[in-house]
Amino acid sequence: MAFSKRKLKTDKHLTENQKKGLDLLDEKLSGKLLTHLNSCVHCGLCGESCLYYLYYGDEKYLPGNKVDLISRIYRRYHTVTGKIIPGLVGAKNFDDDTIQEMIDVIYGGCTMCGRCSMHCSVGIDIAFLVRTARSMLAEMDLVPEGLQSTVDTAVKTGNNMGIPQEDYIDTIKWLEEDLQMEVDDPNASIPLDKKGSKIFYTLNPREPKFFPLSISAAAMIFYAAKESWTLSSHFYDVTNYAYYSGDDKIGALITDRLRKEVENMGAETLVLAECGHGPRAIRWEGPRWTQKKYPFTTITLVELIAEYIRTGRIKLDPKKNTEPVTLHDPCNLVRSGGVIEEQRFILKHAVTDFVEMYPNRENNFCCGGGGGQLSMGEYAERRMDVAQLKADQIRETGADIVVTPCHNCIDQLMEVNKDYELGVKIKTMAEIVADALVLD
């Protein structure tokens, strides 16, 4: 039986910080959360859906256990049985041991890929519960250091890599000159802060910092499509690591900054660069965090490229990409964003030999780098261990190139490529499309 107020709020055993975590759970206790917290029957059939459990076989990684890590606290402080006979229903005190266990599994043993939610025999949104647990921990300042520092950098500098504005502008200008030479057109441009452009394009800060060629590829596609577009010199970051840390307030702040920038530019459409969690955070979570509807349309670059191909705005010659290509589906884009067939449609037009990895689409396995794992050095060893599944998937396709529309996945796959000696090339969707472009 659930009650609206936690009666043990003033329990003397709780520290002030623990009360903050419990207060946040109170605050978030919506009908949806109540439903998912009360639905698990401990059937234990979810293990095979989780890459951590598949690799380690340790029960602590069972998705059902991840549900329990938060629901047992809910039961303890919000149900009559949990308050009177906690042992009967496995209700637990929100003490240091429980909290340490949560941090270890909720941050260090889950990429929030949502594969278990898709397969849960009841229909519990397990990734949603894990994120709620992360929110409780974030409220208590218990986010692992690396992840928190990425969030802090984004808040402080406007992008998660802390790239100074001058460096960023220099990179864009250099790439523009490069584009002009490439297409032999002095008017080709990578517009910055061009008000009234139809499209406001975002970037993953990894692009200007480490992978400028993916910006060139996108610019080339926009050039071929004769698109009216712009980048911002201030707020261009497609990522929002507050989604991973669990901090809704910071998530809202970052969302609001980008929304205002798009409005300031007067763009009709916000195009989200190749990223998994970024498009999820901006498109789906941002409006919820800020409780504001965007006055512009929001789509991903993948959807836009597919539209260009469908409407004949760009022409591709698949014979320019003859090596076998496989696709890695980013979890947040596919399972939580509904961008499933578009990337396949593009690849079928851009390459001659497209091989699906198995399982794919909504059943694809995470690369191991999701959930903020790439920024949490504490769990780097686990991240590479669980990636064995992805390495095996890639190897079985026999592909020479792995395409994925997510820079986070790119980073992880590059490490996987090296560690598991796969000998493949990793590319973004824009890169493979740019390679196949036929310019008039």
Q: Which residues bind other proteins (CB under 8 A)?
A: 1-2, 4, 29-32, 34-36, 38-49, 59, 62, 64-65, 68, 80-81, 87-90, 117, 119-125, 128, 283-288, 291-294, 297-298, 334-338, 340-341, 358-363
Which phi and psi (to 5°) does residue 3 adopt? -120, 155
Cα–Cα distance list, 62 to 59, 66, 111, 249 (Å): 5, 7, 13, 29
Give the tokens for residue 333. 């884009």
Least CB distance to other proteins at residue 129 (A): 11
Closest CA to 215 of 431, 438, 432, 436: 431
- Cis omega (within 30 of 0) for bond into 359: yes
Compare residues 41 and 438 and give the one whose CB is closer to other proteins. Answer: 41
Which tokens hold the place of 33?
Answer: 């959360």
Smaller CB separation from other proteins, 124 or 137: 124
CB 356 to other proteins: min, Å: 9
Give just the sign of the alpha carbon dihedral 187, 234, 412, 344.
Answer: negative
DSSP character at residue 363:
G
The neighbouring-strand residues paired with 427 are 403
Structure tokens at 185: 């057109």
Cβ 234 to other proteins, closest distance in Å?
24
Of the pair 2, 439, the CB lying nearest other proteins is at 2
65/153 with CB nearer other proteins: 65
Per-position b or e across 413-439, b if 16+ CB within 10 A of its CB: bbbbbeebebebbbbbbbbbbbbbbee
The pairing of beta strand 425-427 with beta strand 325-327: unpaired
Task: Name the minimum Å distance from CB 149 to other proteins.
Answer: 29
* DSSP annotation of 88: G
Work out how close the CB of 293 gets to other proteins at its nearest, in angstroms, rounded to a whole number.
4
Nearer to other proteins, 89 or 169 (CB): 89
The beta-strand segments (E) located in 47-161 are: none
Q: How far is the CB of 327 from other proteins (least distance, A)?
A: 13
Q: How far is the CB of 316 from other proteins (least distance, A)?
A: 21
Measured from the CB atom, the residue of 48 and 317 that comes closer to other proteins is: 48
**Strand, helix or coil for residue 401:** strand
Say if CB 8 and CB 23 are below 8 A apart. no
Q: Which is nearer to other proteins, 153 or 300 (CB)?
A: 300
